[in-house]
Every structure is written in C-alpha cells, then in structure tokens.
C-alpha cells in the first residue's frame, strides 16, 4: 500500500511509456490513464451501458464493444455530445485511477497521464515528473513508432501544453535525448529520491 504518487507526463513520443516501464522494472506499480480510459468503457462496463443508453445501440459493434469510430463521429459533429461524454467519463476515469492507486503495492506509485496538466490531474499526485525531449527528436521518434507524417505529429504537439509550460510546472524533469541506458541511470536516481520522499509521507 502506498500513498505517495508521482505523476508522469510528457508530450507525444517523449518517452513516457519507456520511462514508466523502467520504473516498473524496479517494482513500481503503474497506473496508466490511457488504459483506465479504455477500461471504463470496456464491454459490459457501466460506462459503456450509459453510452449505449444515450446514443443508442448502434454505437456498439456486433461483438458488444464500443464502436469508437461511430462515437468519434457523433461527438465531433455535436459539441454538446462531446461535453455529455466528458461529464460522464472524466469522473469515472478519475475514480478508477484513484482506486487502482490505492491498491498499489509498491512504496510509491506512478500515474502516467499524457495530458496531466491539461486535465488538471496534477492535483491528484504528490509530485510531477516530465519527460523532456526536443521537438525535432520527438517528431522523429513518433514518426518512426506510429508511421505518421511530420505534419500529423506537429499538429498533435501544437494541441498539447507547450514544452516550456510543462518544464515550468514539473517538479522533476528527465531528459530523454540520449540512449535508453542513459535513461535507466536517471530513472534509478529518481527512484531513490521517490523512495525517500515516500518514506516521509
Ligand atoms: P510516449 O509514451 O511518450 O509517447 P514512447 O515511450 O512510446 O513515448 O517513446 C516513443 C518512441 O521512441 C518509442 O518507439 C520508443 O521505443 C522510442 N524511444 C524512447 N526513448 C528512446 C531513447 N532514449 N532512444 C531511442 N528511442 C527511444
């Protein structure tokens, strides 16, 4: 049981997942906002039932899962529907994240959230860690990972909190310009720091 939570964030392709996995290798429990946001609308979930009730059964695929493309279409064309969906899902996601954090078994836990500051989820954590990388490297690594164009990556970067703002808000910054093995040493240092902080709370 841990009550000390580190919020891990960074722009697309900055290396959040890579950093999170290095902490997991050290035995730290991860709670991932992307995974939680899929869990709350999984087949047979309360969230999905509410969505089907609101939008109709044709928002579901034949196998009973959410038809994400259909839902995207509905909220894209009608802002009030987007608002309805956010009002439904944001509290559910938040509750589920808190629940999973409460069940964490490591001395501290890590909450991985791409939009930690944008969605005000930094209020749920004891300190924040930002993975930092130049926009050039960020674009290159994302293009290689997702097979997307530079323009597509740049549009996503532009929609996220700026690098400068993230750095200003961060309690800790981890530079991911170097190799994964360099990253590993930086994670080990931060791990020791968080163990001490968790011990004091
Ligand atoms: P995020 O979760 O922030 O979107 P990822 O951890 O998926 O970022 O990293 C983006 C891509 O860059 C992945 O393909 C990952 O394997 C690669 N990557 C991350 N860190 C490094 C590094 N230090 N050196 C080389 N490639 C890296």
Phi, psi of 109 (to 5 degrees): -130, 160
Could you give the strand order of the β-sheet that contains 5-9, starting from the edge strand earlier in sequence? 29-32, 109-112, 5-9, 127-132, 172-175
**Cα separation of 193 and 50, whole Å?**
43
Domain boundaries in the chain?
Answer: 1-28+108-201, 40-105
Q: Ligand 1: which residue has its CA nearest to atom 18?
A: 15
> Element (H or E) spanning 127, and its range?
strand 127-132
Per residue in 59-115, pLDDT (tens digit) is 999 999 999 999 999 999 899 999 999 999 999 999 999 999 999 999 999 999 999
Give the binding-site residues of ligand 1, using a 6 Å CB cut-off: 10, 12-18, 141, 145, 176, 179-180, 183
**Cα separation of 112 and 37, whole Å?**
12
Report the separation in Å between the CA atom of 108 and the middle of ligand 1, taken as the mean of its atom positions.
Answer: 24
Report the separation in Å between the CA atom of 126 and the middle of ligand 1, taken as the mean of its atom positions.
Answer: 25
Q: What is residue 77's predicted lDDT score, i.e. its pLDDT? A: 87
Pick the CATH number of 1-28+108-201 from 3.30.530.20, 3.40.50.300, 3.40.1160.10, 3.10.105.10: 3.40.50.300
**Cα separation of 116 and 39, whole Å?**
18
Prediction pTM value: 0.93
> Residues 6 or more apart from 16 whose CB is under 8 A from it?
8, 9, 10, 112, 114, 131
Q: What is residue 2's predicted lDDT score, i.e. its pLDDT? A: 62
């Amino acid at each position: 049981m841990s009550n000390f939570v580190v919020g891990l964030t960074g722009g697309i392709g900055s290396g959040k997942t890579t950093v999170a996995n290095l902490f997991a290798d050290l035995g730290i429990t991860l709670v991932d906002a992307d995974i939680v946001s899929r869990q709350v609308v999984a087949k047979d979930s309360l969230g999905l039932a509410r969505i089907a009730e609101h939008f109709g059964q044709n928002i579901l695929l034949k196998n009973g899962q959410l038809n994400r493309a259909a839902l995207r279409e509905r909220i894209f064309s009608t802002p009030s529907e987007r608002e309805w969906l956010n009002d439904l899902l944001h509290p559910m996601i938040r509750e589920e994240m808190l629940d999973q954090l409460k069940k964490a078994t490591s001395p501290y836990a890590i909450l991985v959230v791409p939009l930690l500051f944008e969605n005000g989820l930094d209020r749920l954590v004891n300190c924040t860690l930002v993975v930092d990388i130049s926009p050039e490297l960020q674009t290159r690594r994302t293009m290689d990972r997702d097979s997307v164009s530079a323009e597509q990556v740049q549009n996503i970067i532009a929609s996220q909190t700026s690098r400068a703002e993230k750095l200003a808000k961060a309690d800790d910054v981890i530079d991911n310009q170097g190799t994964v093995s360099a990253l590993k040493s930086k994670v080990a240092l931060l791990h020791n720091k968080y163990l001490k902080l968790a011990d004091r709370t």
